[in-house]
A and B are shown apart, each in its own frame.
Chain A
Amino acid sequence: MDMPPLNAQIIAQKPLLVARLRAAVGRVIDDAHEVRAYECDALSAYACAPLAVVLPTTTAEVSAILQICHQMNVPVVPRGAGTSLSGGALPTGDCVVLGLARMNGILETDYDNRFVHVQAGRTNLSVTGALDGFFYAPDPSSQLACAIGGNIAMNSGGAHCLKYGVTTNNLLGVTIVLMDGTVHQIGGPWMDAGGIDLLAVICGSEGQLGIVTEAYLRILPKPLGALPVLVGFETSAQAGECVADIIKAGLLPVAIEFMDRPCIRATEAFAKAGYPDCEALLIIEVEGSADEITDQMARIKAIAMRHAPVEFRAAADADQAARIWLGRKSAFGAMGQINDYMCLDGVIPVSSLSFVLDRIGDMSREFGLDVGNVFHAGDGNLHPLILYDANRPGDLETCEAFGAAILRLCVQVGGCLTGEHGVGIEKRDLMSVQFTDADMQAQMRVKDVFDPKWLLNPAKVFPLSISAGRRHG
């Protein structure tokens, strides 16, 4: 992975930088061994230790840190919980990592107005954990560990976003600190922020526009109940048609998950969830009262039966539900037992599903690497898992080339490079597959407004060749 050359001047100034940071904030880590704990995120193929790490506890401290770095022209890499799958929190050797882990408080819970006000280092699941009868809907699979600040930076989704939307649809307001230290309050506990919708572009800007320190999140009353059904098919085309018919019929399941045969076999060997051995399997979850669930299940069954399923297994209770979800939830772990794997995140129009799966099968043979598919079928967000052997020379490169070919295919059929993991470092150089130079110029102009020196989260999102003039300007 190409990275910009390190700035020797900044490295030479490290003692002064650290002294100034120590004067401003309680916790500064600059020991060369200790900073290595921050050298990578969940995309561990890439690692680079930062100059220093700061762990502020207040918005005022974040502002002071950014002012210092701004004055000294030091790049800053924001970090939530470090669970990014795209290298969104990968440091550079001449940067300060600003970690939000100590800013994890709940500032206000208001059920009458249905919002919660949190600090951005709060973990996703612990937001819901602090609520009574309500929940925060976006549920990325790392929700036990990932931070709200990171969710906002990457506009995270999850298995249940078919019904509830992703982060941007559930975010009411933020406190954001810009690189020069200015603090803005945008939006609040009401439906939309005034003026041009800056919140919209802040969410998903991968920590490149500012550092969000606090957020107002929408919360919803918990549903009365939820149960899944498992449906197996002989072909992925049948599964795809079944999904289309369910959606066309006006059913709005909270989740429609898809797994193909390689994934099913791997998870069976690993988790023994009792899945049928078939080409394609859907897990469809519906919500509501017991009567409503029964009614929706009956409708789904009537539709599924038109597509000749080899198995239709509706959960009758929480135990059966857990067994149905067990395999899906252990899919990544199961694939990891077989081999090293790379997890992709492309999105396609659901109408291209079986075409794309066939092509991925062809490419698997061409590249000589196995691939398993597990994904959110309702919204076309694919997670192909390419298996490779990190100890075999050349395998990682072949895997990366295979991954890039799949993402190109996603764009070619009208989809996109990433549905929920973000561009980060991983897909930076593929951006020109999806966007023209003019498209990227327009996006970079937004960064020019928020971070004119281009110091925040450097070398991510945009190909280095495209951003070169701005980064050195």
Chain B
Amino acid sequence: MDEGDIQAMVRGADRLAIIGGGTRGPVCGGDVLSMAGLTGITLYEPAAMTLVARAGTTLAEIDAVLAAEGQRLAFEPPDLRAVLGRVGQSTIGGVIAANASGPRRLQMGAARDALLGVRFIDGHGDVIVNGGRVMKNVTGYDLTKLMAGSFGRLGIMTEVSLKVMPIPETSATLICTVIDPLPAMAAVLATPYEVSGLAWYRDQMFVRVEGFAPSVAVRLDKLTGILGQFGAVEPVTVDPWPMIRDVTALAAYPVLARIGIKPSLFKELQAILPMASEVLIDWGGGLIWVAGDDPHIIATCRQFCTLHGGHCTAPKGGAPMFQPQSYDTLTAKLRAQFDPRGIFNQGL
């Protein structure tokens, strides 16, 4: 498969459901366009921290190639297969289309922040190039970041260019038992110790620092002192970050809400959640996850976001995936410009 094949499909199609590995995106109607055949890393320059890959390249392949040079995607894309009950292999195009980002976001940014450039095919059937493979680029409008998180609603990404980062020499995590997470969180994030993960689940707070060993040791020591004011502190024995990143702790529940709000509003949100809801806070990722059996969780969280600011996505639980926004008219016009026949991922 190449770009020409996709252009031909776009020109002949009524409805297309664009699928990367099918591991995280919502399922849309129409003819399935699988990107799994458009693979390959086309450029990798470790010293320039740059990797360019075709959209269907698996995340596993990219991770392996980067790891061989001591590098990685710093934005830690979550693996949502367990939570969503999916199988298959996540692709880099899908990761970018979902702006799939993990707990390191606060320190290293999201997928969108690592995205340097894209090639995509719009609804006119044209190949569009935007951005590039350099670290700084303000030439023309930034359609690159616009494509990140667009879930295939503006076009079909065929190639992405990414900033990659070195794997730090050392990573360490502290656990602190705290019932009320907000004061401890604010205290930790007010320090210059460059926390690269901060989460809370079932009265335990997880704090990660990464870097060169001497630096990590110094920062762990300082953070232990600060956290000690809020609860008992201990180092971890099992790496908790895959559980936090992939939300596996909440996988068993049928309803899941992914919420972005001002962090300090958490207590007010918690107070109105249905009984027996469970919460995982991934502050480093800027997220609160709420799960449970009650489908009203989604509506409750969305009302809260409308009232206080923020937004709630529903990866599972039956509600529409995205929360309506006050500027949806602009988004609709944008889709109509990029995809005038309305063929891409309709229903999203």
Report which of B126, B326, B337 forms a contact with A448, defined as CB distance below 8 A: B337
Q: Which of A16-24, A142-150, A312-320, A429-437 contacts B (4 or more CB under 8 A)?
A: A429-437
> How many residue pairs, one in A and one in B, have C-beta atoms under 8 Å apart?
252
Report which of A189, A291, A423, A441 forms a contact with B309, defined as CB distance below 8 A: A189
Report A417-473 residues with CB < 8 Å from chain B CB: 417-423, 427, 431, 434-436, 438-443, 445-450, 461
A294 to B149, CA, bound (A): 41
A190 to B154, CA, bound (A): 24
5 A-B pairs in the complex with CB atoms less than 8 angstroms apart = A184-B326, A347-B136, A380-B136, A414-B133, A439-B140
Contact with B along A184-212 (1 / 0, CB 8 A): 11101111111111101101110000000
Taking the nearest CB of chain A, how far is it from the CB of B211, in angstroms?
8
Decide if A441 touches B126 in the complex (CB within 8 Å): yes
Taking the nearest CB of chain B, how far is it from the CB of A430, in angstroms?
9
Taking the nearest CB of chain B, how far is it from the CB of A403, in angstroms?
15
Report A344-381 residues with CB < 8 Å from chain B CB: 347-351, 376, 378-381
Q: List 6 tightest A-B contacts by C-beta distance, closest first.
A: A191-B286, A194-B311, A200-B145, A250-B166, A379-B135, A244-B47
A303 to B63, CA, bound (A): 27
A376 to B137, CA, bound (A): 13
A245 to B311, CA, bound (A): 42
Q: Which residues of chain B are near A250, meaning CB under 8 Å?
A: 70, 166-169, 212
Choose among B45, B135, B142, B262 the residue with the greatest number of A CB atoms under 10 Å from its CB: B135
Q: A197-B99, A431-B140 are in contact. Are A165 and B113 (CB under 8 A)?
A: yes
Is B104 an interface position by the 8 A CB rule?
no
Report the nearest B residue to A462, measured CB to CB.
B140
Taking the nearest CB of chain B, how far is it from the CB of A85, in angstroms?
12
A204 to B146, CA, bound (A): 12
Q: Which of B25-33, B238-246, B327-335 contacts A (4 or more CB under 8 A)?
A: B327-335
Taking the nearest CB of chain A, how far is it from the CB of B71, in angstroms?
9
Taking the nearest CB of chain B, how far is it from the CB of A95, in angstroms?
21
Contact with B along A331-345 (1 / 0, CB 8 A): 000000000000000
Is B38 an interface position by the 8 A CB rule?
no
Q: Which residues of chain A are near B182, meaning CB under 8 Å?
A: 112
Taking the nearest CB of chain A, how far is it from the CB of B8, in angstroms?
16
Is B130 an interface position by the 8 A CB rule?
yes
Report the nearest B residue to A221, measured CB to CB.
B192
Taking the nearest CB of chain A, how far is it from the CB of B95, in angstroms?
15
A131 to B171, CA, bound (A): 31
Report which of B46, B50, B128, B218 forms a contact with A291, defined as CB distance below 8 A: B218
Decide if B322 touches A194 in the complex (CB within 8 Å): yes
Q: Which of A37-45, A120-128, A154-162, A263-271 contacts B (4 or more CB under 8 A)?
A: A154-162
Contact with A along B143-182 (1 / 0, CB 8 A): 1111011100110000000000111110000000000001
Decide if A197 touches B149 in the complex (CB within 8 Å): yes
Choose among B50, B113, B328, B334 the residue with the greatest number of A CB atoms under 10 Å from its CB: B334
Report the nearest A residue to B310, measured CB to CB.
A190
Q: Which residues of chain B are near A299, meaning CB under 8 Å?
A: 212
Q: Which residues of chain B are near A154, meaning CB under 8 Å?
A: 138
Is A249 an interface position by the 8 A CB rule?
yes
Decide if A195 touches B328 in the complex (CB within 8 Å): yes
Q: Which residues of chain B are near A111, meaning CB under 8 Å?
A: 186, 190
Contact with B along A220-233 (1 / 0, CB 8 A): 01111000000000
A439 to B335, CA, bound (A): 16
Measured as residues with beta carbon below 8 angstroms from the partner, the interface class of chain A is 35 or more
A295 to B213, CA, bound (A): 10
Taking the nearest CB of chain A, how far is it from the CB of B30, in angstroms?
19
Decide if A416 touches B99 in the complex (CB within 8 Å): no
A252 to B49, CA, bound (A): 12
Decide if B262 touches A190 in the complex (CB within 8 Å): yes
Q: A380-B134, A440-B140 are in contact. Are A189 and B262 (CB under 8 A)?
A: yes
Q: Which residues of chain B are near A446, meaning CB under 8 Å?
A: 141, 143, 146, 334, 337
Taking the nearest CB of chain A, how far is it from the CB of B75, in angstroms?
12
Report how many residues on chain B are interfacial, defined by Cβ distance under 8 Å. Answer: 80
Q: Which residues of chain A are near B326, meaning CB under 8 Å?
A: 184-185
Q: A111-B190, A168-B145, A221-B192 are in contact. Are A196 and B331 (CB under 8 A)?
A: yes
Taking the nearest CB of chain B, how far is it from the CB of A219, in angstroms?
10
Decide if A347 touches B153 in the complex (CB within 8 Å): no
Is B215 an interface position by the 8 A CB rule?
yes
Taking the nearest CB of chain A, how far is it from the CB of B134, in angstroms?
4
Report which of A191, A197, A351 forms a contact with B260, defined as CB distance below 8 A: A191
Decide if A418 touches B139 in the complex (CB within 8 Å): yes
Q: Which residues of chain A are near B261, meaning CB under 8 Å?
A: 190
Q: A192-B110, A289-B218 are in contact. Are A438 and B128 (CB under 8 A)?
A: yes
Q: Which residues of chain B are near A461, meaning CB under 8 Å?
A: 140-141
Report the nearest A residue to B336, measured CB to CB.
A449
Q: Which residues of chain B are near A235, meaning CB under 8 Å?
A: none
Taking the nearest CB of chain B, how far is it from the CB of A213, in angstroms?
15
Decide if B48 touches A350 in the complex (CB within 8 Å): yes
A189 to B286, CA, bound (A): 10
Report A396-423 residues with CB < 8 Å from chain B CB: 414-423
Q: Which residues of chain B are near A427, meaning CB under 8 Å?
A: 139
Given contacts A198-B334, A435-B129, A438-B126, 15 further A-B contacts (CB under 8 A): A168-B142, A190-B261, A191-B260, A192-B110, A196-B149, A196-B150, A196-B331, A200-B144, A200-B148, A223-B192, A250-B169, A347-B135, A420-B136, A431-B139, A439-B128
Report B169-218 residues with CB < 8 Å from chain A CB: 169, 182, 186, 189-192, 212, 214-215, 218
Decide if A201 touches B47 in the complex (CB within 8 Å): no
Is A67 an interface position by the 8 A CB rule?
no
Decide if A349 touches B212 in the complex (CB within 8 Å): no
Is A169 an interface position by the 8 A CB rule?
yes
Report the nearest A residue to B327, measured CB to CB.
A184
Is A288 an interface position by the 8 A CB rule?
yes
Decide if A205 touches B141 in the complex (CB within 8 Å): yes
Q: Which residues of chain B are near A421, meaning CB under 8 Å?
A: 138
Q: A248-B46, A250-B169 are in contact. Are A450 and B142 (CB under 8 A)?
A: no
Is B263 an interface position by the 8 A CB rule?
yes
